């Protein structure tokens, strides 16, 4: 199953995340299918950027969204993710 989730990057105590499309069975550090955005929670306000058209494309193909990413997508974008939780 394909899932859209965070991939943690950065150093100790200064995390930032890539928003990636990957196989659910793969580890967090493994190869990804596509990087569709970034999230940096350490800035005020947090920086969130995502390619909405690519997220919508992967959702149309049946990808699921992680719970934490679904909350951010609802807050910052207009991509419909209802019922797409992994």
Question: Which residues of the chain, if any, have pLDDT below 70?
Answer: 82-86
Instruction: Identify the pLDDT of residue 69.
Output: 92
What does the pLDDT read at residue 23?
92
pLDDT of residue 39: 95
Ranges of each domain in the chain? 2-76
Token output for 84: 């797409």
User: Which of the four CATH numbers 1.10.10.10, 3.30.1320.10, 1.20.1440.230, 3.90.1150.10 does domain 2-76 have?
Assistant: 3.30.1320.10
Q: pLDDT (tens digit, 9 = 90+) per residue, 10-27? A: 999 899 999 999 998 888
């Amino acid at each position: 199953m394909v899932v859209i989730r965070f991939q943690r990057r950065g150093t100790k105590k200064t995390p930032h995340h890539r928003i990636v499309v990957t196989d659910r069975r793969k580890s967090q550090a493994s190869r990804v299918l596509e990087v569709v955005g970034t999230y940096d929670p350490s800035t005020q306000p947090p920086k969130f950027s995502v390619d909405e058209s690519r997220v919508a494309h992967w959702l149309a193909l049946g990808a699921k969204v992680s719970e934490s990413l679904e909350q951010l997508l609802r807050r910052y974008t207009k991509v419909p993710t209802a019922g797409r939780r992994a």
